[in-house]
Amino acid sequence: MSDTVRSPAGQEEARYRALQAVDPRAPGALETFTTGLHDESWRVRHAAAEGLRRVPDAQGVTARLISVLGERGETGARNAAAEALAGMGPVATQPLVHLLEHEDPDQRKLAADILGQLGHPEVEDVLLRALSDGDLNVRVAAAEALGRMGGPAAARALEGLLDTPTPLLRLAALEGLASLKRAPPLERVMALVEDPALQRSALRLLGLYAPGVATERICRALASPVRSVREAALVALGTQAGALGPYERGELDAVARSVLGGIPGVTERVAQALDGEDVQVRAGALVAAGALGEASLAVPVAEVAREDRLLREVLFTLGQLGPDGRRLLLEGMGTLSLPARTVAAEALVLLVDATSVPELCALLEWAEDDLRAVVVRALGRTRSPQAVAPLVELLADPALSGIAARALEQLTVAHPLASLTALEAAVEQRATPAAVAVLGRLGGARVLPLLRRLARDEEASWRAAAVEAAGRVDGEAGLELARGALADESPRVRIAAVRSLGQQGGKEAATFLGLALKDEDRGVRVAAVEAVGAAGAKERSADLESLVRHGDSGLAMLAVRALTKLGTVGAGVLWDALSHPDAEVVKAALAALASAEASADGAALAVSLLGHPRWDVRVAAARVLGGLGRPECLLALEQALSVERDALARAALADAVARLSSGR
């Protein structure tokens, strides 16, 4: 026997396992589990409660559990029984309602507690009656229960309790209203917020009101010497801000700024809260930091990004901290945690100006790849001619060249000459083919000779870049280079040629694309399918149609999309696509239906997909049907809605039903 089994822990383990091994359907299981409810270890009790939930005779189990609730002195067992009852569902409701009549107030209290956890709205009346129970604990438990699950009547009753002389009940009422998100008239809460015992709960409730008086009172609480009061205030501030969109916080921020500005030491307190455990407190601290516009908080604010859920707020707040905050962030980059560094960089993109280039370049020296991507974007936004050279250099980095190219385009608007010169120099020095692409986009006809020369380069990557760039510069030259490039031995160059043809359009391009569609390389074929769509080359429809049945579902899907673009999807193709095993092909076909003339056939096809095993196909089918506006489909949609379980599909179906019923 191992040490573990002899040790108390091992014995616990053995009991735990024994309970897990019990078959809930076996005779005697009910009693075995009930005994387990009385075990000294919470883990074993928990396993017993779990087991009871699986015993088939739910009524018998409920009755047995209720009897355990009556065992005075057995606290652990009673709690476990309560937990199990809360997991029993509707079958437990009536027996518990009955228990609310028990002569022992303790049991009545437990009944109210559990009913609250069960959360069935139909017991609201019973709980409302329990608010006038002779025993205070029962009244409090009933108020708490109503706060968990109540409707309007519960909210009214809780509101009524705000005036009772019993502090405990007032507290339960405040908490309940806060959790129901029901705001009583503001004056009533404002009166309670001055009572130290109720302050925290009242503050949280204040978070439900529109900015203004409530904000002011909440912010004043940040002067409290009591930490938990300050935290409640921060939670409320976060709730207020959360109800508004991030860019609709003007009033709230103004009020908060005016009050917080007068509280000595508030910056340190906010900094401390930013570092706290509770997510809601941190959310509120972000609002406070932003309202204060306190640049020195930039680093702790960025660190809150370690909590994913607060990412949006962190970004917004960093934006509120202004240029000084930006400087601190830039200086602190090296000391920030990884997640903080990423959001800090994101925020910097928005805050940079022409003076930021040196700092951004310094960051490029050491930052991780994804950060560097952000820095590249920021360089584009500086609108400074100094940013041109580093960006041209970055075109040589495969991970960043796409982003660098776009950033350069931004700069070119402001500094066309500097950008072009730098790009030309880069091409002359054969820095990177990516520079050719940008040059082609920005340089116009004057770079054509250069592109012609590069199209004969020894290296495929330069040839490809030149061919694609020429297509953007000039139709005729583009076509000529593309034709030559279609015979290139490198698929990469052929793909560039195909893309260029896609941009040109016209009869000749269509002919060449026909050849490319039969290329031996899959990449070329994929590019050709897309290019046919882009070029509007209807003469290639038949080629695409034959691809719809292709075993490579990527090609099939692209073919359907391209045909849709061309507006030449025939019924036969649709049938093929709609019965394709890959859902993306089916969805592409549905999209074609939506854009084609609303045919009775199309509607029938879409209806047949309302029962498709994949939720996304059902969503797409419902959308199409909503769009086609054929009333005869209403019945099918309603039927589908009545059996649909997926939330997104339900929403799409409901929308389609609404559109068809209103004849929109």
Choices 182-190, 222-230, 328-336, 626-634; region in contact with other proteins by CB under 8 A: 328-336
Q: Which of 466, 619, 637, 656 binds other proteins (CB under 8 A)?
A: 619
If binding is defined by CB under 8 A, does position 551 make contact with other proteins? Answer: no
CB closer to other proteins out of 347 and 497: 347
Q: How far apart are CA 264 and CA 268, in angstroms?
A: 9
| 563, 592 contact by CB (below 8 A) | yes
If binding is defined by CB under 8 A, does position 369 make contact with other proteins? Answer: yes
Q: How far apart are CA 580 and CA 552, in angstroms?
A: 11
If binding is defined by CB under 8 A, does position 367 make contact with other proteins? Answer: no
CB closer to other proteins out of 60 and 250: 250
| 168, 194 contact by CB (below 8 A) | no
Choices 313-321, 357-365, 421-429, 509-517; region in contact with other proteins by CB under 8 A: 313-321
CB closer to other proteins out of 421 and 595: 595
| CB 456 to other proteins: min, Å | 27
Specify the residue for token string 């500094």. 415
For residue 210, the 8-state DSSP code is: P
CB closer to other proteins out of 311 and 515: 311
Buried b (16+ CB within 10 A) or exposed e, 455-475: bebeebbbbbbbbbbbbbbbb
Specify the residue for token string 């709960």. 201
Q: Which of 523, 567, 570, 572 binds other proteins (CB under 8 A)?
A: 523
Size of residue set near other proteins by CB under 8 A: 58
Q: 470 Cβ partners below 8 Å, 6+ apart? A: 440, 448, 451, 452, 455, 477, 478, 481, 482, 500
Specify the residue for token string 């501030």. 237
CB closer to other proteins out of 20 and 166: 20
If binding is defined by CB under 8 A, does position 129 make contact with other proteins? Answer: no
Cα radius of gyration rounded to whole Å, the chain: 34
| CB 319 to other proteins: min, Å | 5
Q: Which parts of 333-362 interact with other proteins (CB under 8 A)?
A: 334-340, 346-347, 350-351
CB closer to other proteins out of 12 and 216: 12
If binding is defined by CB under 8 A, does position 320 make contact with other proteins? Answer: yes
Hey, is 119 helix, strand or coil?
coil
| CB 302 to other proteins: min, Å | 10
Q: How far apart are CA 183 and CA 423, in angstroms?
A: 62
If binding is defined by CB under 8 A, does position 12 make contact with other proteins? Answer: yes
- Of 303, 234, 323, the closest CA to residue 270 belongs to 234
| 618, 652 contact by CB (below 8 A) | yes
DSSP string, 4-23: HHHSHHHHHHHHHHHHHH--
What distance, in Å, lies between the first and last C-alpha atoms of the chain? Answer: 76
| 266, 231 contact by CB (below 8 A) | no
CB closer to other proteins out of 316 and 575: 316
If binding is defined by CB under 8 A, does position 612 make contact with other proteins? Answer: no
- Of 494, 442, 505, the closest CA to residue 468 belongs to 494
Q: Which of 402, 505, 514, 611 binds other proteins (CB under 8 A)?
A: 402
Choices 94-102, 143-151, 257-265, 552-560; region in contact with other proteins by CB under 8 A: 552-560
Choices 3-11, 134-142, 152-160, 183-191; region in contact with other proteins by CB under 8 A: 3-11
CB closer to other proteins out of 46 and 148: 46
| CB 51 to other proteins: min, Å | 11
Q: How far apart are CA 408 and CA 416, in angstroms?
A: 10
DSSP string, 351-405: H--GGGHHHHHHHHHH--HHHHHHHHHHHHHT--GGGHHHHHHHTT-TTTHHHHH
If binding is defined by CB under 8 A, does position 399 make contact with other proteins? Answer: yes
If binding is defined by CB under 8 A, does position 8 make contact with other proteins? Answer: yes
| CB 194 to other proteins: min, Å | 35
Write out 250-297 in H/E/C secondary structure: HHHHHHHHHHHCCCCCHHHHHHHHHCCCCHHHHHHHHHHHHHHCCHHH
Q: Which of 125, 194, 251, 368 binds other proteins (CB under 8 A)?
A: 368
Q: Which parts of 228-257 interact with other proteins (CB under 8 A)?
A: 247
Q: Which of 25, 43, 129, 453 binds other proteins (CB under 8 A)?
A: 43
**Beta-carbon count within 10 A of 197 CB:** 12
CB closer to other proteins out of 535 and 559: 559
Q: Which of 113, 468, 488, 584 binds other proteins (CB under 8 A)?
A: 584
| CB 145 to other proteins: min, Å | 27
Q: How far apart are CA 447 and CA 443, in angstroms?
A: 6
| 195's tokens | 């009572």
Q: Which parts of 463-522 interact with other proteins (CB under 8 A)?
A: 522
CB closer to other proteins out of 250 and 572: 250
Residues in the site for other proteins, rule: CB under 8 A? 2, 4, 7-10, 12-13, 16-17, 20, 43, 46, 50, 247, 303, 306, 308-309, 311-312, 315-316, 319-320, 334-340, 346-347, 350-351, 368-370, 373-374, 377, 399-400, 402-403, 406, 522-523, 553-554, 557-558, 584, 615-616, 619, 648
